Amino acid sequence: MKPITKALFPVAGLGTRFLPATKAQPKEMLPVVDKPLIQYAIEEAYEAGIREMIFVTGRTKRAIEDHFDMAYELETELAAANKHELLRVVQSIKPDDLECVFIRQPKMLGLGHAVLCGSLLINGEPFAVLLADDLMVGEKPIMRQMVEQYAEWRASIIAVQEVPPEQTRRYGIVAGTPVRDRLVDVSRIVEKPAPEDAPSNLGVAGRYILTPGVLDEIRNLPRGVGGEIQLTDGIAGLLRREKVFAYRYEGRRYDCGSKEGFLQASVELALEHPQIGPGFRDYLASLRESGRV
């Protein structure tokens, strides 16, 4: 099987949970400290050796395309003003060997449908899927961990984490047989089950490596939970034909699709930021001392 060279980013969603901020701006462009969410996801894929980024986009998402395009006027101005550090920051958003391809999802029919919209560009190869809402941080980037698992098992790999039993309705939930530490041979996957129906407490995080067979499965799916064509149901179909593994990644996930998760990511990444981290830490300490938190 081929190595993973393509990653698909479903970015057509409306971002209603962040209105009014997302009325005229894609939710994937909301910044955590100083980088938009989508850039974190692209960098994670790039660090995993992936070079072809497929954006499944929609109306009102122009800013994402512009972000990964050359900003000719800005770059010329920065160069003329000798602002070399800022110029480097702007130019490093898209390294020369990174390719971006954009395709539209005309109707919001679900995550499975978004993946299917990108299928023409997948070209029958195994591919990664990254949901930019899930900001993932690990000493070794999470997608890199997954690519390593894929290289060993040559099968679909789904990132999972333990979730509180009362939160199973927010996730795809997998169950199966442990193969070794951090790895489960999946026998079942269900989208957003009620706690009493959940087969385990292993929730799917927004990182997948999938074999192309999943696309045939999605093509034949009826609508699932929430009336949507679910990627989870496609993976459930794939399971009948191929092995699928769930991988308990090493690292942290922030659910930046929710305000709480977004704020947690902002605070924690600000604390780790080389320039603003120390000052921000002092600021938080002063809030504590003054009894405001």
Question: How far is the C-alpha of 17 from the C-alpha of 170, rounded, in Å?
Answer: 14
Least distance CB 171 / ligand G1P (angstroms):
4
114 binds ligand G1P per the rule CB under 6 A: no
Task: Name which position in 171, 245, 249, 262 contacts ligand G1P (CB under 6 A).
Answer: 171
The residue with its CB nearest to ligand G1P is 172
Spell out a b/e string for 212-233, using b for 16 or more CB atoms within 10 Å of the CB, else e: ebbbebbeebeebeeebbbbbb
| Stretch 203-222: interaction string toward ligand G1P, x if CB under 6 A | xxxx----------------
CB of 288 to ligand G1P, least distance (A): 31
- Which residues, other chains included, contact 46 with Cβ-Cβ below 8 Å and sequence gap of 6+? 95, 98
- Pick out residues in 254-283 that bind ligand G1P (CB under 6 A): 257
Kindly state whether residue 190 participates in binding ligand G1P, applying the rule CB under 6 A: no
| Position 172 contacts ligand G1P (CB under 6 A) | yes
> Least separation, in Å, of the C-beta of 63 and ligand G1P?
21
Please count the CA atoms within 13 angstroms of the CA of 9 that sit on its side-chain side: 30
CB 265 to ligand G1P: min, Å:
14
Measured at the CA of 256, the angle between CA 53 and CA 62, to 5 degrees, comes to 45
# of chain residues touching ligand G1P (CB under 6 A): 14
Minimum distance from CB of 121 to ligand G1P (Å)?
21
Contacting residue, 39, 57, 232, 265, with ligand G1P by CB under 6 A: 232
**Pairing relation of β-strands 252-255 and 183-191?**
unpaired
Among 131, 136, 190, 236, binds ligand G1P (CB under 6 A): 131
What would the x/- binding string for ligand G1P be over residues 38 to 77, using CB under 6 A?
Answer: ----------------------------------------
Choose among 105, 126, 112: nearest CA to 52: 126
Q: Residue 286: in which H helix or E strand, if any?
A: helix 277-289
Closest by CA to 262, choosing from 7, 20, 28, is 28
Comparing CA positions, the residue from 77, 68, 56 lying closest to residue 29 is: 68
Query: Got the DSSP string for 260-276?
Result: HHHHHHHHHHHHH-TTT
Which residues form the interface with ligand G1P (CB under 6 A)? Answer: 111, 131, 134, 171-172, 191, 203-206, 230-232, 257
